[in-house]
Amino acid sequence: MLLLAILVLGAFAGWLANLILGGGSRPADWGELVFAGLVGSFVGGMILSLLFGDGLQLRASGIIGSVIGAVVVLAVWRRVRPPAARR
């Protein structure tokens, strides 16, 4: 059950990051968004949760950090991927 919650939160954070970066509400590559969401959640969510003193519990600061982290990861990923992979 925890694994499913982590995947859903990662997909949601990646989807929000895609919206923030202007990718539209119906992305073509969900794998990219889930990856960005999971990595962003791990990095951004953990850093903000620890900075605000929430520990590793699910709090608003961790969710906000997850979205911010996903935006950063997705922006960097879109910048460095080969031109042939861009749509």
List, in sequence order, every beta strand (DSSP E) within the chain. Answer: none
List the structure tokens of 9. 């939160």
Q: Tell me the per-residue pLDDT of 15-28, one tens digit each, with 9 for 90 and over.
A: 898 899 887 777 77
Q: Tell me the per-residue pLDDT of 62-75, one tens digit each, with 9 for 90 and over.
A: 678 788 888 988 89
pTM over the 0.85 mark: no
| Residue extents of the structural domains in the chain | 10-80
Q: Tell me the per-residue pLDDT of 25-53, one tens digit each, with 9 for 90 and over.
A: 777 778 888 888 888 877 876 777 677 77
Residues whose CB is less than 8 angstroms from the CB of residue 86 and which lie 6 or more positions away in sequence, other chains included: 78
